[in-house]
Structure 1
Protein backbone atom coordinates (compact mmCIF):
# COMPACT_ATOMS: atom_id res chain seq x y z
CA UNK A 1 0.00 0.00 0.00
CA UNK A 2 2.75 2.45 0.98
CA UNK A 3 4.67 1.54 -2.15
CA UNK A 4 1.67 2.41 -4.32
CA UNK A 5 1.14 5.72 -2.52
CA UNK A 6 4.79 6.78 -2.73
CA UNK A 7 5.10 5.51 -6.30
CA UNK A 8 2.08 7.55 -7.29
CA UNK A 9 3.50 10.60 -5.53
CA UNK A 10 6.86 10.19 -7.23
CA UNK A 11 5.15 10.06 -10.61
CA UNK A 12 3.47 13.43 -9.90
CA UNK A 13 6.64 15.00 -8.51
CA UNK A 14 7.01 17.48 -11.45
CA UNK A 15 3.40 18.62 -10.84
CA UNK A 16 4.26 19.26 -7.20
CA UNK A 17 7.15 21.47 -8.26
CA UNK A 18 4.94 23.36 -10.67
CA UNK A 19 2.32 23.77 -7.96
CA UNK A 20 4.88 25.25 -5.57
CA UNK A 21 5.93 27.74 -8.25
CA UNK A 22 2.29 28.66 -8.86
CA UNK A 23 1.72 29.19 -5.14
CA UNK A 24 4.76 31.47 -5.01
CA UNK A 25 3.31 33.58 -7.82
CA UNK A 26 -0.05 33.79 -6.04
CA UNK A 27 1.69 34.77 -2.81
CA UNK A 28 3.52 37.63 -4.52
CA UNK A 29 0.27 38.83 -6.07
CA UNK A 30 -1.49 38.83 -2.70
CA UNK A 31 1.37 40.76 -1.10
CA UNK A 32 1.12 43.44 -3.79
CA UNK A 33 -2.64 43.76 -3.25
CA UNK A 34 -2.13 44.00 0.50
CA UNK A 35 0.39 46.83 0.11
CA UNK A 36 -2.02 48.67 -2.20
CA UNK A 37 -4.90 48.33 0.27
CA UNK A 38 -2.68 49.57 3.12
CA UNK A 39 -1.90 52.70 1.08
CA UNK A 40 -5.59 53.25 0.31
CA UNK A 41 -6.56 52.88 3.97
CA UNK A 42 -3.89 55.43 4.96
CA UNK A 43 -5.16 57.83 2.31
CA UNK A 44 -8.73 57.57 3.66
CA UNK A 45 -7.44 58.42 7.14
CA UNK A 46 -5.78 61.57 5.80
CA UNK A 47 -8.97 62.55 3.99
CA UNK A 48 -11.01 62.04 7.15
CA UNK A 49 -8.65 64.37 9.02
CA UNK A 50 -9.05 67.09 6.36
CA UNK A 51 -12.85 66.76 6.33
CA UNK A 52 -12.90 66.88 10.13
CA UNK A 53 -10.91 70.13 10.08
CA UNK A 54 -13.35 71.54 7.50
CA UNK A 55 -16.29 70.62 9.75
CA UNK A 56 -17.53 68.07 7.18
CA UNK A 57 -18.49 65.31 9.56
CA UNK A 58 -20.39 63.07 7.11
CA UNK A 59 -17.58 63.07 4.59
CA UNK A 60 -15.09 62.23 7.32
CA UNK A 61 -17.27 59.32 8.46
CA UNK A 62 -17.49 58.00 4.91
CA UNK A 63 -13.70 58.00 4.69
CA UNK A 64 -13.43 56.04 7.92
CA UNK A 65 -15.97 53.51 6.63
CA UNK A 66 -13.86 52.98 3.50
CA UNK A 67 -10.82 52.53 5.71
CA UNK A 68 -12.65 49.80 7.63
CA UNK A 69 -13.51 48.02 4.39
CA UNK A 70 -9.92 48.15 3.26
CA UNK A 71 -8.80 46.76 6.62
CA UNK A 72 -11.20 43.81 6.25
CA UNK A 73 -9.80 43.07 2.82
CA UNK A 74 -6.29 43.26 4.25
CA UNK A 75 -7.25 40.70 6.91
CA UNK A 76 -8.67 38.39 4.22
CA UNK A 77 -5.50 38.69 2.18
CA UNK A 78 -3.41 37.87 5.27
CA UNK A 79 -5.53 34.72 5.79
CA UNK A 80 -5.04 33.72 2.15
CA UNK A 81 -1.30 34.20 2.46
CA UNK A 82 -1.21 32.06 5.59
CA UNK A 83 -3.05 29.24 3.83
CA UNK A 84 -0.71 29.42 0.87
CA UNK A 85 2.28 29.25 3.18
CA UNK A 86 0.76 26.22 4.89
CA UNK A 87 0.14 24.52 1.55
CA UNK A 88 3.69 25.22 0.39
CA UNK A 89 5.14 23.73 3.57
CA UNK A 90 3.06 20.57 3.11
CA UNK A 91 4.09 20.20 -0.52
CA UNK A 92 7.77 20.74 0.27
CA UNK A 93 7.56 18.17 3.08
CA UNK A 94 5.83 15.68 0.77
CA UNK A 95 8.48 16.25 -1.90
CA UNK A 96 11.27 15.66 0.62
CA UNK A 97 9.56 12.47 1.78
CA UNK A 98 9.19 11.26 -1.79
CA UNK A 99 12.83 11.98 -2.57
CA UNK A 100 13.89 10.07 0.55
CA UNK A 101 11.74 7.06 -0.34
CA UNK A 102 13.08 7.05 -3.91
CA UNK A 103 16.65 7.12 -2.62
CA UNK A 104 15.98 4.26 -0.19
CA UNK A 105 14.29 2.27 -2.96
CA UNK A 106 17.30 2.68 -5.23
CA UNK A 107 19.62 1.65 -2.41
CA UNK A 108 17.54 -1.43 -1.64
CA UNK A 109 17.48 -2.42 -5.32
CA UNK A 110 21.25 -2.04 -5.55
CA UNK A 111 21.81 -4.16 -2.45
CA UNK A 112 19.45 -6.80 -3.82
CA UNK A 113 21.33 -6.93 -7.11
CA UNK A 114 24.65 -7.22 -5.27
CA UNK A 115 23.32 -10.07 -3.13
CA UNK A 116 22.16 -11.88 -6.24
CA UNK A 117 25.54 -11.44 -7.89
CA UNK A 118 27.29 -12.80 -4.79
CA UNK A 119 25.62 -15.98 -3.60
CA UNK A 120 26.15 -17.32 -0.10
CA UNK A 121 27.26 -20.72 -1.39
CA UNK A 122 29.87 -19.14 -3.65
CA UNK A 123 31.15 -17.02 -0.78
CA UNK A 124 31.45 -20.00 1.57
CA UNK A 125 33.22 -22.05 -1.08
CA UNK A 126 35.64 -19.19 -1.76
CA UNK A 127 36.42 -18.76 1.95
CA UNK A 128 37.06 -22.51 2.29
CA UNK A 129 39.51 -22.39 -0.60
CA UNK A 130 41.30 -19.39 0.90
CA UNK A 131 41.61 -21.10 4.28
CA UNK A 132 42.87 -24.29 2.64
CA UNK A 133 45.52 -22.41 0.68
CA UNK A 134 46.66 -20.56 3.81
CA UNK A 135 46.99 -23.87 5.70
CA UNK A 136 49.04 -25.37 2.85
CA UNK A 137 51.30 -22.31 2.81
CA UNK A 138 51.85 -22.60 6.55
CA UNK A 139 52.83 -26.26 6.23
CA UNK A 140 55.28 -25.40 3.44
CA UNK A 141 56.90 -22.66 5.54
CA UNK A 142 57.21 -24.99 8.55
CA UNK A 143 58.83 -27.63 6.37
CA UNK A 144 61.33 -25.16 4.92
CA UNK A 145 62.27 -23.78 8.33
CA UNK A 146 62.87 -27.22 9.90
CA UNK A 147 66.60 -28.20 10.19
CA UNK A 148 67.81 -31.02 7.98
CA UNK A 149 70.98 -33.12 7.77
CA UNK A 150 73.66 -32.62 10.44
CA UNK A 151 71.90 -29.53 11.77
CA UNK A 152 68.95 -31.67 12.80
CA UNK A 153 71.16 -33.56 15.30
CA UNK A 154 72.15 -30.45 17.24
CA UNK A 155 70.72 -30.09 20.72
CA UNK A 156 69.43 -26.56 21.19
CA UNK A 157 69.77 -26.75 24.99
CA UNK A 158 73.45 -27.72 24.75
CA UNK A 159 74.14 -24.90 22.30
CA UNK A 160 72.50 -22.35 24.57
CA UNK A 161 74.49 -23.63 27.60
CA UNK A 162 77.74 -23.36 25.64
CA UNK A 163 76.88 -19.85 24.56
CA UNK A 164 76.25 -18.84 28.19
CA UNK A 165 79.65 -20.22 29.20
CA UNK A 166 81.35 -18.19 26.48
CA UNK A 167 79.58 -15.04 27.57
CA UNK A 168 80.53 -15.59 31.24
CA UNK A 169 84.19 -16.23 30.31
CA UNK A 170 84.31 -13.08 28.20
CA UNK A 171 82.83 -11.02 31.02
CA UNK A 172 85.34 -12.44 33.56
CA UNK A 173 88.27 -11.64 31.26
CA UNK A 174 87.13 -8.04 30.93
CA UNK A 175 86.86 -7.68 34.71
CA UNK A 176 90.38 -9.05 35.31
CA UNK A 177 92.09 -6.67 32.86
CA UNK A 178 94.26 -4.02 34.71
CA UNK A 179 92.99 -0.49 34.60
CA UNK A 180 95.37 1.67 32.57
CA UNK A 181 96.43 4.90 34.28
CA UNK A 182 95.61 8.00 32.39
CA UNK A 183 98.74 9.85 31.09
CA UNK A 184 99.79 12.79 33.27
CA UNK A 185 99.30 16.19 31.79
CA UNK A 186 102.61 17.91 30.84
CA UNK A 187 103.70 20.59 33.26
CA UNK A 188 103.71 24.09 31.89
CA UNK A 189 106.63 26.45 32.50
CA UNK A 190 105.44 29.88 33.55
CA UNK A 191 106.37 32.56 31.11
CA UNK A 192 107.98 35.67 32.63
CA UNK A 193 106.92 38.80 30.87
CA UNK A 194 109.73 41.25 30.15
CA UNK A 195 109.23 44.92 29.76
CA UNK A 196 109.93 46.14 26.25
CA UNK A 197 113.28 47.83 25.57
CA UNK A 198 111.85 51.04 24.15
CA UNK A 199 110.49 51.86 27.59
CA UNK A 200 114.01 51.62 29.06
CA UNK A 201 115.42 53.80 26.32
CA UNK A 202 112.82 56.41 27.10
CA UNK A 203 113.95 56.47 30.78
CA UNK A 204 117.73 56.87 30.08
CA UNK A 205 117.65 60.65 29.29
CA UNK A 206 115.83 61.29 32.55
CA UNK A 207 118.51 59.39 34.54
CA UNK A 208 121.32 61.43 32.87
CA UNK A 209 119.63 64.75 33.69
CA UNK A 210 119.18 63.67 37.31
CA UNK A 211 122.92 62.78 37.60
CA UNK A 212 123.98 66.14 36.10
CA UNK A 213 121.78 68.02 38.58
CA UNK A 214 123.25 66.17 41.51
CA UNK A 215 126.81 66.98 40.30
CA UNK A 216 126.02 70.69 40.13
CA UNK A 217 124.58 70.68 43.66
CA UNK A 218 127.71 68.97 44.93
CA UNK A 219 129.87 71.75 43.51
Structure 2
Protein backbone atom coordinates (compact mmCIF):
# COMPACT_ATOMS: atom_id res chain seq x y z
CA UNK A 1 0.00 0.00 0.00
CA UNK A 2 2.89 2.35 0.69
CA UNK A 3 4.21 1.78 -2.82
CA UNK A 4 0.77 2.59 -4.21
CA UNK A 5 0.77 5.81 -2.24
CA UNK A 6 4.22 6.69 -3.61
CA UNK A 7 2.99 6.05 -7.13
CA UNK A 8 0.01 8.34 -6.51
CA UNK A 9 2.40 11.01 -5.24
CA UNK A 10 4.48 10.72 -8.39
CA UNK A 11 1.38 11.14 -10.53
CA UNK A 12 0.45 14.29 -8.62
CA UNK A 13 3.97 15.61 -9.10
CA UNK A 14 3.77 14.99 -12.83
CA UNK A 15 0.42 16.77 -12.97
CA UNK A 16 1.85 19.78 -11.14
CA UNK A 17 4.81 19.88 -13.48
CA UNK A 18 2.47 19.71 -16.46
CA UNK A 19 0.40 22.68 -15.23
CA UNK A 20 3.48 24.65 -14.26
CA UNK A 21 5.13 24.15 -17.69
CA UNK A 22 7.97 21.95 -16.45
CA UNK A 23 8.91 19.06 -18.69
CA UNK A 24 10.03 15.72 -17.34
CA UNK A 25 12.88 13.90 -18.98
CA UNK A 26 11.66 10.95 -21.03
CA UNK A 27 12.60 7.70 -19.33
CA UNK A 28 14.64 5.11 -21.17
CA UNK A 29 12.94 1.87 -22.21
CA UNK A 30 14.82 0.03 -19.46
CA UNK A 31 13.57 2.48 -16.83
CA UNK A 32 10.00 2.23 -18.10
CA UNK A 33 10.13 -1.57 -18.05
CA UNK A 34 11.53 -1.52 -14.51
CA UNK A 35 8.77 0.83 -13.30
CA UNK A 36 6.10 -1.27 -14.95
CA UNK A 37 7.43 -4.40 -13.24
CA UNK A 38 7.44 -2.66 -9.87
CA UNK A 39 3.84 -1.56 -10.40
CA UNK A 40 2.87 -5.09 -11.45
CA UNK A 41 4.29 -6.43 -8.17
CA UNK A 42 2.22 -3.89 -6.24
CA UNK A 43 -0.95 -4.87 -8.09
CA UNK A 44 -0.26 -8.56 -7.53
CA UNK A 45 0.03 -7.93 -3.81
CA UNK A 46 -3.21 -5.96 -3.97
CA UNK A 47 -4.87 -8.90 -5.72
CA UNK A 48 -3.76 -11.24 -2.96
CA UNK A 49 -5.02 -8.81 -0.30
CA UNK A 50 -8.44 -8.44 -2.01
CA UNK A 51 -8.78 -12.20 -2.42
CA UNK A 52 -8.13 -12.70 1.28
CA UNK A 53 -10.67 -10.01 2.20
CA UNK A 54 -13.24 -11.58 -0.12
CA UNK A 55 -12.79 -14.94 1.58
CA UNK A 56 -13.08 -13.30 5.01
CA UNK A 57 -16.34 -11.55 4.09
CA UNK A 58 -17.69 -14.78 2.63
CA UNK A 59 -16.89 -16.63 5.83
CA UNK A 60 -18.56 -13.84 7.83
CA UNK A 61 -21.71 -14.12 5.73
CA UNK A 62 -21.78 -17.88 6.22
CA UNK A 63 -21.18 -17.45 9.93
CA UNK A 64 -24.16 -15.15 10.48
CA UNK A 65 -26.45 -16.70 7.89
CA UNK A 66 -30.13 -16.31 8.67
CA UNK A 67 -29.43 -15.88 12.37
CA UNK A 68 -28.12 -12.37 11.77
CA UNK A 69 -29.36 -11.52 8.32
CA UNK A 70 -28.31 -7.88 8.53
CA UNK A 71 -24.66 -8.71 9.32
CA UNK A 72 -24.63 -11.42 6.66
CA UNK A 73 -25.96 -9.04 4.00
CA UNK A 74 -23.42 -6.35 4.94
CA UNK A 75 -20.64 -8.90 4.59
CA UNK A 76 -21.93 -9.91 1.15
CA UNK A 77 -22.10 -6.23 0.06
CA UNK A 78 -18.51 -5.72 1.15
CA UNK A 79 -17.57 -8.89 -0.74
CA UNK A 80 -19.22 -7.53 -3.90
CA UNK A 81 -17.29 -4.25 -3.64
CA UNK A 82 -14.06 -6.15 -3.08
CA UNK A 83 -14.78 -8.33 -6.09
CA UNK A 84 -15.30 -5.20 -8.20
CA UNK A 85 -11.97 -3.82 -7.01
CA UNK A 86 -10.33 -7.16 -7.76
CA UNK A 87 -11.76 -7.17 -11.31
CA UNK A 88 -10.47 -3.62 -11.86
CA UNK A 89 -7.07 -4.61 -10.50
CA UNK A 90 -6.97 -7.62 -12.82
CA UNK A 91 -7.76 -5.41 -15.80
CA UNK A 92 -5.13 -2.85 -14.82
CA UNK A 93 -2.53 -5.58 -14.34
CA UNK A 94 -3.29 -7.02 -17.76
CA UNK A 95 -2.91 -3.57 -19.32
CA UNK A 96 0.44 -3.04 -17.62
CA UNK A 97 1.68 -6.46 -18.72
CA UNK A 98 0.72 -5.73 -22.34
CA UNK A 99 2.42 -2.35 -22.18
CA UNK A 100 5.59 -3.84 -20.69
CA UNK A 101 5.70 -6.59 -23.31
CA UNK A 102 5.22 -3.99 -26.06
CA UNK A 103 8.14 -1.93 -24.73
CA UNK A 104 10.30 -5.05 -24.41
CA UNK A 105 9.50 -6.02 -28.01
CA UNK A 106 10.21 -2.47 -29.17
CA UNK A 107 13.52 -2.51 -27.30
CA UNK A 108 14.44 -5.83 -28.86
CA UNK A 109 13.53 -4.55 -32.33
CA UNK A 110 15.56 -1.41 -31.76
CA UNK A 111 18.56 -3.49 -30.69
CA UNK A 112 18.18 -5.73 -33.73
CA UNK A 113 18.02 -2.71 -36.03
CA UNK A 114 21.03 -1.17 -34.35
CA UNK A 115 23.00 -4.39 -34.81
CA UNK A 116 21.92 -4.64 -38.44
CA UNK A 117 23.03 -1.04 -38.96
CA UNK A 118 26.44 -1.83 -37.48
CA UNK A 119 26.74 -4.87 -39.71
CA UNK A 120 25.77 -2.82 -42.78
CA UNK A 121 28.37 -0.17 -41.97
CA UNK A 122 31.01 -2.86 -41.38
CA UNK A 123 30.18 -4.46 -44.72
CA UNK A 124 30.34 -1.07 -46.42
CA UNK A 125 33.74 -0.44 -44.84
CA UNK A 126 34.96 -3.85 -46.02
CA UNK A 127 33.82 -3.10 -49.57
CA UNK A 128 35.04 0.47 -49.74
CA UNK A 129 38.42 -0.57 -51.19
CA UNK A 130 36.84 -2.97 -53.66
CA UNK A 131 35.99 -2.10 -57.26
CA UNK A 132 33.63 -4.40 -59.11
CA UNK A 133 35.55 -3.79 -62.34
CA UNK A 134 38.78 -4.81 -60.64
CA UNK A 135 37.10 -7.89 -59.25
CA UNK A 136 35.93 -8.86 -62.75
CA UNK A 137 39.43 -8.33 -64.12
CA UNK A 138 40.92 -10.41 -61.32
CA UNK A 139 38.51 -13.27 -61.91
CA UNK A 140 39.24 -13.11 -65.65
CA UNK A 141 42.97 -13.29 -64.95
CA UNK A 142 42.48 -16.25 -62.64
CA UNK A 143 40.44 -18.08 -65.30
CA UNK A 144 43.08 -17.36 -67.94
CA UNK A 145 45.90 -18.61 -65.70
CA UNK A 146 43.95 -21.77 -64.95
CA UNK A 147 43.53 -22.43 -68.67
CA UNK A 148 47.27 -21.87 -69.24
CA UNK A 149 48.09 -24.24 -66.39
CA UNK A 150 45.80 -26.89 -67.91
CA UNK A 151 47.47 -26.49 -71.31
CA UNK A 152 50.89 -26.84 -69.72
CA UNK A 153 49.78 -30.00 -67.89
CA UNK A 154 48.40 -31.46 -71.12
CA UNK A 155 51.64 -30.66 -72.96
CA UNK A 156 53.80 -32.22 -70.25
CA UNK A 157 51.72 -35.40 -70.20
CA UNK A 158 52.18 -36.03 -73.97
CA UNK A 159 54.96 -38.58 -74.82
CA UNK A 160 58.02 -37.09 -76.48
CA UNK A 161 59.87 -39.01 -79.27
CA UNK A 162 63.25 -37.30 -78.84
CA UNK A 163 64.14 -37.51 -82.58
CA UNK A 164 62.11 -40.65 -83.34
CA UNK A 165 60.65 -40.00 -86.82
CA UNK A 166 59.44 -43.55 -87.59
CA UNK A 167 56.08 -43.62 -89.33
CA UNK A 168 53.43 -45.42 -87.32
CA UNK A 169 51.85 -46.89 -90.47
CA UNK A 170 55.16 -48.59 -91.33
CA UNK A 171 55.29 -50.08 -87.85
CA UNK A 172 51.77 -51.43 -88.21
CA UNK A 173 52.62 -52.98 -91.59
CA UNK A 174 55.70 -54.64 -90.12
CA UNK A 175 53.62 -55.97 -87.25
CA UNK A 176 51.13 -57.52 -89.68
CA UNK A 177 54.00 -59.23 -91.54
CA UNK A 178 55.31 -60.66 -88.28
CA UNK A 179 51.86 -61.97 -87.43
CA UNK A 180 51.56 -63.61 -90.87
CA UNK A 181 54.99 -65.24 -90.52
CA UNK A 182 54.01 -66.59 -87.14
CA UNK A 183 50.78 -67.99 -88.57
CA UNK A 184 52.65 -69.68 -91.46
CA UNK A 185 55.10 -71.27 -89.04
CA UNK A 186 52.24 -72.63 -86.95
CA UNK A 187 50.55 -74.12 -90.03
CA UNK A 188 53.85 -75.70 -91.16
CA UNK A 189 54.45 -77.21 -87.74
CA UNK A 190 50.94 -78.62 -87.72
CA UNK A 191 51.59 -80.38 -91.07
CA UNK A 192 54.82 -81.90 -89.85
CA UNK A 193 53.19 -83.13 -86.66
CA UNK A 194 50.43 -84.87 -88.65
CA UNK A 195 52.98 -86.66 -90.88
CA UNK A 196 54.96 -87.81 -87.83
CA UNK A 197 51.78 -89.14 -86.26
CA UNK A 198 50.94 -91.11 -89.40
CA UNK A 199 54.44 -92.63 -89.47
CA UNK A 200 53.96 -93.91 -85.93
CA UNK A 201 50.82 -95.93 -86.81
CA UNK A 202 51.36 -99.81 -86.99
CA UNK A 203 51.30 -101.62 -90.34
CA UNK A 204 48.15 -103.29 -91.55
CA UNK A 205 48.38 -107.10 -91.13
CA UNK A 206 48.88 -109.04 -94.39
CA UNK A 207 46.72 -111.99 -93.38
CA UNK A 208 43.22 -112.01 -94.74
CA UNK A 209 40.34 -112.66 -92.43
CA UNK A 210 38.16 -115.55 -93.49
CA UNK A 211 34.88 -114.61 -95.08
CA UNK A 212 33.07 -117.88 -94.31
CA UNK A 213 31.83 -118.74 -90.83
CA UNK A 214 34.62 -120.10 -88.71
CA UNK A 215 34.78 -122.22 -85.66
CA UNK A 216 35.13 -120.89 -82.14
CA UNK A 217 38.88 -121.68 -82.16
CA UNK A 218 39.32 -119.72 -85.37
CA UNK A 219 37.47 -116.74 -83.89
CA UNK A 220 39.72 -116.74 -80.83
CA UNK A 221 42.81 -116.92 -83.06
CA UNK A 222 41.57 -113.99 -85.14
CA UNK A 223 40.84 -111.98 -81.98
CA UNK A 224 44.38 -112.63 -80.68
CA UNK A 225 45.87 -111.48 -83.98
CA UNK A 226 43.81 -108.27 -83.84
CA UNK A 227 44.99 -107.60 -80.29
CA UNK A 228 48.61 -108.19 -81.31
CA UNK A 229 48.18 -105.91 -84.32
CA UNK A 230 46.73 -103.10 -82.29
CA UNK A 231 49.34 -103.34 -79.57
What band does the TM-score fall into relative to the shorter chain?
Answer: 0.5 to 0.7
1:72 equivalent among 37, 62, 84? 84
Question: How far apart in 1 are the matches of 2:43 and 2:176?
Answer: 102
What CA deviation, in whole Å up to 9, does each residue of 1:142-167 have, x standing for no partner?
5544625323x244566678789999
1:125 equivalent among 137, 142, 147? 137
Residue 102 of structure 1, CA deviation: 1.9
Residue 35 of structure 1, CA deviation: 1.0
CA 1:148–1:46 in structure 2 vs 1: closer, same or farther (change >3 Å)? same
Partner of 1:48: 61
Correspondence 1:82 to 2:131:
no
Partner of 1:188: none
Q: State the structure with bigger RCO (CA 8 A, min sep 6), 1 or 2.
A: 1
CA 1:155–1:80 in structure 2 vs 1: closer, same or farther (change >3 Å)? farther
What CA deviation, in whole Å up to 9, does each residue of 1:24-63 have, x standing for no partner?
221121111111111111111211222235x322222211
Unmatched 5+ stretches in structure 1: 1-11, 174-219
Partner of 1:114: 126
Partner of 2:146: 134
Question: How far apart in 1 are the matches of 2:149 and 2:87?
Answer: 86
2:35 equivalent among 22, 42, 62? 22
Partner of 1:91: 103
CA 1:83–1:122 in structure 2 vs 1: closer, same or farther (change >3 Å)? same
Q: Select the structure of larger CA radius of gyration.
A: 2
CA 1:68–1:138 in structure 2 vs 1: closer, same or farther (change >3 Å)? closer
Aligned length: 158
Q: For the aligned residues, what is the CA RMSD?
A: 3.5
Partner of 2:114: 102
CA 1:122–1:50 in structure 2 vs 1: closer, same or farther (change >3 Å)? same
1:31 equivalent among 24, 27, 44? 44
Question: How far apart in 2 are the matches of 1:104 and 1:122?
Answer: 28
Unmatched 5+ stretches in structure 2: 1-25, 187-231
CA 1:75–1:161 in structure 2 vs 1: closer, same or farther (change >3 Å)? farther
Question: How far apart in 2 are the matches of 1:32 and 1:166?
Answer: 114
Residue 93 of structure 1, CA deviation: 1.9
Question: How far apart in 2 are the matches of 1:92 and 1:164?
Answer: 93
SS at match of 1:150: coil
Question: How far apart in 1 are the matches of 2:72 and 2:142?
Answer: 99
